[in-house]
Amino acid sequence: MSSKKTVFLTIEGKSLGFYFLLGVFALMVLAGLGASYYMEHHGHVVTGMNNQIVWGMPHVFAVFLIVAASGALNVASISSAFGKVAYKPLARLSALLAITLLVGGLVVLVLDLGRPDRLIVAMTRYNFKSIFAWNIYLYIGFIGVVAAYLWMMFEQRMNRFTSAVGTFAFVWRFILTTGTGSIFGFIVARQAYDAALLAPTFVIMSLSFGTAVFILMLHFIYSMTGRELGDLLVGRLRNLLSIFVAAVFYMTLIFHLTNLYGTQHHGVERFLLLEGGVFTQVFWIGQIGIGTLAPLALFWLPGINKSRGSILLGSLMVVIGGLSQIFVIIIGAQAYPLTLFPGKTVSSSFFDGAINTYSPSLPEWVLGISGFGIALLATLIAIRVLPFLPQRLTDAQTES
């Protein structure tokens, strides 16, 4: 048990640094809205997307944020659902990030629609055979459930329900990420998808990306507000993250090994792993090098794994690796042509049989990155208005 009661405080929010960050994040959001307006006004012809690569860079950022959102809740789940007291002081921030990251991702997803003005149609008409339609419920429901969870934590007389609601939120997030992975897993037509393994892979990816984002946010908020953040707690989070990173690597390994066994998938595997140009590079350098091996070295090698710098750099690398992984999953899979006639070489005016290329345009990058802007802006305002963060997180508190 913690030696004394945790005191939660809002951040002061009067410093130049606070207003500077507020301004930067607000500008990111405005730039994203501008990019979206530009894309909608001219049509998607101004993007790098086309009839071959139909989902582009905005989807990479949106899916990353949505996946990271459910993973960010992990810290709270460990405290409420699994009763680990050491993480309890972090539960509020964990739940807050779950909401803000999800909102950031969803806004990007909606703003990239061909008809974002028809959001009301998406909210009122449902085809329940579509995992996309289910996800709309799962995402909105998740925000509601986590908001309720926060209320249980904030309101003293409701504290006794924290564990129950937290467990419910944990189950919900599990289903939610399964749903997100199934968006791809249920696509029977594409050579690189159509695998039930994608759903659990997304769940583990969410734990990894969400924990990495959480560590980064926790450190920067505490260092900028001059609050104490003990190494013991950060070290525990690092251990947790390293297990998740290794687990994602394992799932990736199994996915490719299974594909490599069946001859019909050799083409797509050769493309992704060897001959896919930018996709191959992003896979090996981004996902495996920067996103997996380097962070594992930073987290595990004695001598450097205790330094805060290593942990932060490793977490940042996990984020970059995560974006790389989703880039390969979403765009790499579309770049490889559909196999309609096995054993034949096909060609057409519609790029049948051709490896498709994709060069994202500036508005796509801006819209995608603005998702982070939305999440950061909302988080900054929330911690200014409500007491999400403990006054200090010392090693003495963490030792339980």
Partner 1 sequence: MSTTKRPDNRGRRRFLTAAGGVTAVATIAPGVRLIQRVLAKEDDQAVSSAVRWGMLINTNKCATGCNDCVTACNSEHGLRDTGRPDTDPQWIRKVKLVDDQTGKETSLPMMCQHCEKPPCVDVCPTGASFRRTDGVVLVDKHICIGCRYCMMACPYKARSFVHQTLTDQRPWSPRGKGTVEACTFCVHRVDRGQQPACVEACAGADHGALVFGNLNDPKSEISKRAKAVSSRQIRADLDLNTGVRYEGV
Site for partner 1 in 352-371 (CB under 8 A): 352
Residue 35 to residue 41: CA distance in whole angstroms: 10
Binding segment toward partner 1, per CB under 8 A, in 252-260, 304-312, 350-358, 375-383: 350-358
Among 30, 274, 301, 346, binds partner 1 (CB under 8 A): 346
State the residue for tokens 């307006």. 37
State the residue for tokens 């929010």. 13
CA 229 to chain centre: 24
Residue 161 near residue 305, CB atoms below 8 Å: no
User: What would the x/- binding string for partner 1 be over residues 27 to 46, using CB under 8 A?
Assistant: -------------x-xxxx-
CB of 330 to partner 1, least distance (A): 9
349 is a site residue for partner 1 (CB under 8 A): yes
How many of the chain's residues bind partner 1 (CB under 8 A)?
Answer: 47
Greatest CA separation for the chain: 72
**Smaller CB separation from partner 1, 71 or 337:** 337
Residue 92 near residue 153, CB atoms below 8 Å: yes
- 317 vs 220, 263, 290, CA distance in Å? 16, 34, 6
CB of 251 to partner 1, least distance (A): 22
Residue 265 to residue 231: CA distance in whole angstroms: 46
User: What would the x/- binding string for partner 1 be over residues 177 to 206, using CB under 8 A?
Assistant: ------x--xxxxx----------------
131 is a site residue for partner 1 (CB under 8 A): yes
User: What would the x/- binding string for partner 1 be over residues 80 to 119, using CB under 8 A?
Assistant: ---------------------------------xxxx-xx
CB of 26 to partner 1, least distance (A): 28
Among 37, 151, 261, 341, binds partner 1 (CB under 8 A): 341
Residue 320 near residue 291, CB atoms below 8 Å: yes
User: What would the x/- binding string for partner 1 be over residues 43 to 62, using CB under 8 A?
Assistant: xxx----xxx-xx-------
Token digits of residue 196: 């039930």
Rg (CA), the chain: 21
**Smaller CB separation from partner 1, 40 or 395:** 40
Residue 142 near residue 159, CB atoms below 8 Å: no
Residue 143 to residue 106: CA distance in whole angstroms: 11
**Smaller CB separation from partner 1, 132 or 250:** 132
345 is a site residue for partner 1 (CB under 8 A): yes
